[in-house]
Amino acid sequence: MHRGQTFVFLLSAETIADRHIDSVISDIAILQSLGIKLVIVFGCKNQIDNALADAKVKTRFYKRIRIADTRSFSIIKRVCGDIQYNITSRLSMGLGNTPMQGLRLSVVSGNFVTAKPVGVIDGIDFCHSGTVRRVDAEGINFQLDRGNVVVLSPICVSVTGESFSLNSEDLASRVAIDLKANKFITFCPFQGILDDDGHVVPELFPDQAEEYLSKLDEDDVSSTARYLRAAIASCRGGVPRSHLVSHTDDGALLQELFTRDGIGTQIVKNSAEQVRQARISDIGSLMQLIKPMEDAGILIHRPRELLELQIEHYVIIERDGMVIGSAALYPYMEEKCGELACVAIHPNYRSGGRSDLLIETIEQKARKMGLKKIFVLTTSTAHFFLEKGFVPGTVDDLPKKKRDNYNYQRKSKIFFKNLDD
């Protein structure tokens, strides 16, 4: 399903400190065994905070950036190095009683990212705090193509040989963008982004995600806001999908990636669903979609041969390669009229206004063809079409060809809708 794709992971400080970290690492390792190319960027903010507090070293933030002076930077480097070795050791596990039994992962780290100093902002010297100057995408891809897992530390070197402390979220999103990764995945304490009722929001466009971000405290440097900000940046930079997944639920990552609807929140450039013109290759899926409704007598039976001949009349809703909705428009050009037919939605997706979307698509298609009105025949959804602006009609109102072939035994009700110019 994802073989050959590149995933960039951000392991946040909270994820690394969580008791489920071994489960998270195991799930990531399983992905590598499935042929997925993995880059892991880790953060360590909380661990750095604790180490600085233990050393009685005060730390300051400005514009969400830690000011890494010489004294604090030595501690930051030690903490990052310790975490990097811990991640490497966890990726190297292969005990017989663990999920990683038999896996042999090669972990590579190096100077794949070149840093530059933040410098002085508003009169404040950020000392050893830095930002990304360049990502060696060619070098990283060289390692990924050889089956290695690349682990990147937020401590990066500059062209002058100096080291700088980078923001892990900014680093991870920049790496994902420069690698042209297929996915950017980060973990948070919750199962993605929650709405006002506490329910997971499954999918957001970047602009919608910005609205949720604006509700979070802009000065909070330790909240889900940081992960959401990185996911938005990745998506706007060209990464097709960014995922926010819980690190507290075992198996959450695999459920997010290998179930059609997932269990977290994904930020997408383009929706996982799209309405498009049906193709010959869709006929098998289309037949699976409409068969239950044919068996129930809601739709008339359409053999494969007929669908092949009429496929140009169909539009479908596709979700991650699965046809979940369909509708057809049969034009009667002499009467400037068209028939709306075969409106079907998969039972698991009948909420969310998908029927409305299909009808609007058919109406737009009819207008482009110069049709003045559309009609529909139905035996069981009369009220639905009345709600959509259709009005009752009679057999005599039908185009001549349709009138001659009207099935009086089905006793289908007829509804018309005028199309606005």
User: Would you kindly state where each structural domain of the chain is located, as residue ranges?
Assistant: 6-268, 273-418
Answer yes or no: is pLDDT of 167 > 70: yes
For the domain spanning 273-418, the CATH number is: 3.40.630.30
Bigger pLDDT: 338 vs 23: 338
Answer yes or no: is pLDDT of 27 > 50: yes
* Share above pLDDT 90 across residues of the chain, in percent, rounded to a whole number: 31
Answer yes or no: is pLDDT of 13 > 60: yes
For the segment 7-12, the average pLDDT, to the nearest whole number, is 90
CATH class name, domain 6-268: alpha beta
Answer yes or no: is pLDDT of 81 > 70: yes
For the segment 105-128, the average pLDDT, to the nearest whole number, is 87
> What confidence score (pLDDT) does residue 221 get?
44
Bigger pLDDT: 191 vs 53: 53
Answer yes or no: is pLDDT of 337 > 90: yes
Which of 187, 147, 184 minimizes the C-alpha distance to 32?
Answer: 147
- Range of lowest pLDDT (140-149, 155-164, 187-196): 187-196
Bigger pLDDT: 102 vs 250: 250
Mean pLDDT of the chain: 85
φ/ψ bin of 262: left (φ > 0), alpha (ψ from -120 to 50), beta (otherwise): left
Answer yes or no: is pLDDT of 103 > 70: no
The span from the CA of 183 to the CA of 186, in Å, is 10
Bigger pLDDT: 286 vs 21: 286
> What confidence score (pLDDT) does residue 336 get?
92
377, burial (CB in 10 Å: exposed 0-12, middle 13-18, buried 19+):
buried
Bigger pLDDT: 296 vs 175: 175
